Homo-oligomer: A and B are copies of this chain.
Amino acid sequence: MAKPCVFASPSSTPLLKDELDIVIPTIRNLDFLEMWRPFFQPYHLIIVQDGDPSKVIKVPEGFDYELYNRNDINKILGPKASCISFKDSACRCFGYMVSKKKYIYTIDDDCFVAKDPTGKEINALEQHIKNLLCPSTPFFFNTLYDPYRDGADFVRGYPFSLREGVPTAVSHGLWLNIPDYDAPTQLVKPLERNTRYVDAVMTIPKGTLFPMCGMNLAFDRELIGPAMYFGLMGDGQPIGRYDDMWAGWCIKVICDHLGLGVKTGLPYIWHSKASNPFVNLKKEYKGIYWQEELIPFFQSVALPKECTSVQKCYLELSKQVKAKLGKVDDYFNKLADAMITWIEAWDDLNPSTATAAKLPNGSSK
How far apart sit A212 and B144, CA to CA, in the bound complex (Å)?
11
**Cα distance A92–B111 in the bound complex, in angstroms:** 51
Contact of A184 with B1 in the complex, beta carbons under 8 Å: yes
Which residues of chain B are within 8 angstroms of A117 by Cβ–Cβ distance? 117
Whole-angstrom CA separation of A248 from B140 in the bound complex: 13
CB-CB under 8 A from A68, the residues of chain B are: none
Q: Is A213 an interface residue (CB 8 A)?
A: yes
A208–B151 Cα distance when bound, in Å, is 24
Given A117-B117, A192-B151, also A156-B1 (CB < 8 A): no
Interface readout for A234-257 with B: 1 if CB under 8 Å, 0 if not? 000000011011001000000000
Query: Quick check: B157 and A182 within 8 Å, CB to CB?
Result: yes
B152 and A181 form a contact (CB under 8 A): no
B153 and A210 contacting across the interface, CB-CB below 8 Å: no
Flag the segment in A45-53, A158-166, A218-226 that touches B: A158-166
How near does chain B come to A311, taking the closest CB pair, in angstroms? 25
For residue A207, CB closer than 8 A to chain B, the reply is: yes
Closest beta carbon of chain B to A215's beta carbon, Å: 10
Count of residues in A whose CB is under 8 Å from the partner chain: 61
Q: Say whether A196 faces chain B, with CB atoms less than 8 Å apart.
A: yes
Chain B min CB distance to A282 (Å) = 15
Q: Are A151 and B188 in contact (CB under 8 A)?
A: no
Query: Chain B's nearest CB lies how many Å from the CB of A66?
Result: 30
List B contacts of A204 (CB < 8 A): 141, 205
- The answer to whether B198 and A140 have CB atoms under 8 Å apart is no
Q: From A172, A195, A196, A291, name the one whose CB has the most chain B CB atoms within 10 angstroms.
A: A196
Chain B residue nearest in CB terms to A140: B209
In the assembled complex, the CB of A285 is this many whole angstroms from the nearest CB of chain B, namely 12
| In the assembled complex, A154 has its CB within 8 A of some CB on chain B | yes
Within 8 A of B (CB), among A284-337: 284, 288, 291-292, 295
Given contacts A141-B204, A156-B241, 6 further A-B contacts (CB under 8 A): A141-B264, A143-B172, A143-B213, A153-B185, A154-B185, A206-B207
